[in-house]
Amino acid sequence: MKADFNNSHVAVIGAGPAGLTAAFELAKNGLTLIVLEASPFIGGISRTHVWNDNHIDIGGHRFLTKSAVVKHLWEEMMDEPMLRVPRLSRIYYKGKFFQYPLQIGNTLSNLGVIESVRMLLSYLYSSIAPIKPEDSFEDWVRNRFGDRLYRTFFKTYTEKVWGIPCTEIRADWAAQRIHGLSFVSAVMNALRDSGRVKSLSMTFDYPRLGPGMLWESAAGKIEKMGGTVIREASVKRLHHFEGRVTALDFEHEGKTHTIHPNQVISSMPISTLTKILDPAPPEIVINSASGLKYRDFLIVALACSKPDVFPDNWIYIHSPDVRVGRIQNFRNWSPHMVAPDNETTLGMEYFCSRGDDLWTRSDTDLITLAKKEISSLGLIAESALGEGFVIRELNAYPVYDAEYKAHVDTLRAYYTTFANLQTVGRNGMHRYNNQDHSMLAGHHAALRLLGRPELDPWEVNTERSYYEEQILNSDERHKATAILAAEITMPHEKS
Ligand SMILES: Cc1cc2nc3c(=O)[nH]c(=O)nc-3n(C[C@H](O)[C@H](O)[C@H](O)COP(=O)(O)OP(=O)(O)OC[C@H]3O[C@@H](n4cnc5c(N)ncnc54)[C@H](O)[C@@H]3O)c2cc1C
| pLDDT string in tens for the chain (495-residue length) | 445 677 789 999 999 999 999 999 999 999 999 999 999 999 999 999 999 999 999 989 999 998 999 999 999 999 999 999 999 999 998 888 988 766 777 888 888 889 889 988 999 999 899 999 888 889 988 998 899 989 888 898 888 988 888 988 878 777 766 665 666 666 666 655 444 444 345 899 999 999 999 999 999 999 999 999 999 999 999 999 999 999 999 999 999 999 999 999 999 999 999 999 999 999 999 999 999 999 999 999 999 999 889 999 999 998 889 999 999 999 999 999 999 999 999 999 999 999 999 999 999 999 999 999 999 999 999 999 999 999 999 999 998 887 899 999 999 999 999 999 999 999 999 998 899 999 999 999 999 999 999 999 999 865 444 344 444 334 333 332 222 222 222 334 443
**DSSP H helices in 131-210:** 137-145, 147-150, 156-162, 171-177, 183-191, 195-201
Residue nearest atom 8 in ligand 1 by C-alpha distance:
61
Kindly write down the DSSP assignment for every residue of 373-433, as one continuous string: HHHHTTSS-GGGEEEEEEEEEEEEEE---TTHHHHHHHHHHHHTT-SSEEE-STTTTT---
Contact criterion met (CB below 8 Å) for 33 and 228 = yes
Which domains does the chain show, CATH number per domain? 10-43+210-292+401-479 (3.50.50.60), 100-195 (no CATH), 294-398 (3.90.660.20)
Check if 15 has its Cβ closer than 6 Å to any atom of ligand 1: yes
Closest atom of ligand 1 to 395 CA is 30
Residue nearest atom 1 in ligand 1 by C-alpha distance:
59
Please calculate the CA angle 86-433-223 and round it to the nearest 5 degrees: 85
Check if 429 has its Cβ closer than 6 Å to any atom of ligand 1: no
CA distance 46 to 210: 9
Check if 13 has its Cβ closer than 6 Å to any atom of ligand 1: yes
Check if 489 has its Cβ closer than 6 Å to any atom of ligand 1: no
Residue nearest atom 48 in ligand 1 by C-alpha distance:
44
| Side-chain-facing half-sphere of 256: CA atoms under 13 Å | 7
For residue 207, report the distance from its CA to the centre of ligand 1, in Å: 17
Residue nearest atom 52 in ligand 1 by C-alpha distance:
59
Check if 234 has its Cβ closer than 6 Å to any atom of ligand 1: yes
Closest atom of ligand 1 to 495 CA is 9
Check if 274 has its Cβ closer than 6 Å to any atom of ligand 1: no
Check if 38 has its Cβ closer than 6 Å to any atom of ligand 1: yes
